[in-house]
Amino acid sequence: AQTVTQSQPEMSVQEAETVTLSCTYDTSESDYYLFWYKQPPSRQMILVIRQEAYKQQNATENRFSVNFQKAAKSFSLKISDSQLGDAAMYFCAYRQATSGTYKYIFGTGTRLKVLA
Amino acid sequence: DVKVTQSSRYLVKRTGEKVFLECVQDMDHENMFWYRQDPGLGLRLIYFSYDVKMKEKGDIPEGYSVSREKKERFSLILESASTNQTSMYLCASSPRIRRNSPLHFGNGTRLTVT
């Protein structure tokens, strides 16, 4: 069975600095999708970034980028120039690409604090 | 923008009550999901539905049932609420065709069972 592990329950970063949140996963599949979600205090889960496993290039969305290491089954999120609004819970998620598979598997989350 | 609406933001129920959590999405998505979120456990899938009247059990279906009579609405039912069902419940939807599509979430319902 696939699993997703986020080993950092909580992280802190100084405003304007860079922080990296780690995520590892376990799967025997070769084709899948990976996601990072952000859940601010408002509780609305928002997609931050996604990565297709068949793409070697790391995904980037403005200040957010990933380091996708397929062989190591690692999918870390880097937040550059951290802002107070980045404070939230961050969840890593995996989804198998097989047609007819609908299940997303989530990690336990990392709470990010941004210090002014 | 996709909108997923959960009918209640906070809910307080008594042990043994039958509880309905409602979720509506406005983007014609085929797939709908109910997750439970607990500190340290992340999101765990309770049930999902890939079409009207179709449902499949997730990882923790015990004590829950679901109903999907219309495409846009997916209801989670606690037949006899218990204190261990006190939790945050998140509804989500996604289109079937685009396999790399993310889940679109509602704002969550924080349920307290006393």
For B6-44, the DSSP string reads: ES-SEEEE-TT--EEEEEEESS--SEEEEEEEETTTEEE
Whether the CB-CB separation of B15 and B72 falls below 8 Å is answered with no
pLDDT tens for each residue of chain A, 116 residues long:
789 999 999 999 999 999 999 999 999 988 899 999 999 988 889 999 999 998 889 999 999 999 999 999 999 999 999 999 999 999 999 998 776 667 789 999 999 999 99
Residues of A in contact with B41 (CB under 8 A): 108
Q: Determine the pLDDT at residue B97.
A: 65
8 Å CB contact of B100 and A45: no
CB contact under 8 A, A106 and B42: yes
Retrieve residue A51's tokens. Answer: 């990565």
- Residue A100 has a pLDDT of 65
At residue A97, the pLDDT reads 78
**A41 inside 8 A of chain B by CB:** no
C-alpha distances out from residue B89 to A18, B52, B77, Å: 32, 21, 12
| pLDDT (tens digit per residue) in B82-95 | 999 999 999 999 88
Q: Percent of chain B having pLDDT more than 90? A: 81
**Record: contact B41-A44, CB cut-off 8 A:** no
Give CA B82 to chain center in angstroms: 17
State the virtual CA torsion across A64, A39, A27, A20 in degrees, nearest 10.
Answer: 40
Res B99: pLDDT: 67
Half-sphere exposure of B111 (CA within 13 A, CB side): 30
Residues B42-85: tens digit of each pLDDT: 999 999 998 898 999 999 999 999 999 999 999 999 999 999 99
User: Phi-psi region for residue A48, left (φ > 0), alpha (ψ -120 to 50) or beta?
Assistant: alpha
